[in-house]
Amino acid sequence: MIKANQRAKDYETHLRAAGVRMTKQRLAILRVLAETRSHPDANEIFHLAFAVDPSISLSTVYRTMRILQERGAIQRHAFDDGRARFEHADGEHHDHLIDVETGKVIEFRSEKIERLQAEIAAELGYEIVRHKLELYGRARPMKGAARPATKKRAS
């Protein structure tokens, strides 16, 4: 994961520039976030970061996630399972398809959908600030190609 390392550095640079103090706990969290391509909850982040720096506590994870969210460095999601899940916000917006059987989260992005949403909001007299689209689905008995990997682009 060479890219992850770079991303961690980028995070650090940006946050420092914004006047955020870099403690070893925060660095551990940034590393963890940079390395994962999934959508961990606070507890998962805590355990992963603990492996990097055992001096970290769960409250610090929560505090830091809040700061990162305020700075726009991460996104907080509230899927239907109750707890908050986090994901780094490295630029590009995308939506989620959640496998109802395995809980697996697949990311995708569709320009058509984005456009349509803006149109609908406009018709209702609104301007979209952000949005959340979650598809909950069941994998179909494969017809041809192999099961798609994590990041997909749809029409």
Partner DNA sequence: ATGCTATTAAGAATGATTTGCAACTAGGCC
Partner DNA sequence: GGCCTAGTTGCAAATCATTCTTAATAGCAT
Residues lying near a copy of itself in the complex (CB under 8 A) are found at: 76, 78-80, 82, 84, 97, 99-100, 106, 108, 110, 112-113, 116-117, 119-140, 142, 145, 147-148, 152, 154-155
- The token pair that represents 70 in the structure block: 């305020």
State the binding partner of 16 from DNA, a copy of itself, none, CB within 5 to 8 A by kind.
Answer: DNA
Least distance to DNA, CB of residue 147, Å: 29
Long-range CB pairs of 16-22, under 8 A, 24+ apart, other chains included: 18/71, 20/67, 20/71
Q: Which does 26 bind (CB under 5 to 8 A by kind): DNA, a copy of itself, none?
A: DNA
Q: Taking the complex as a whole, how short is the minimal distance between the CB of residue 145 and a copy of itself, in angstroms?
A: 8
Task: Report angle CA 53, 55, 61 to the nearest 5 degrees.
Answer: 80
Query: What kind and span of H or E run contains 85?
Result: strand 85-88
User: Which residues have C-beta within 8 Å of that of residue 58, sequence separation ≥ 6?
Assistant: 42, 43, 46
Binding site for DNA (CB under 7 A): 16, 20-26, 41-43, 55-60, 62-66, 82-84
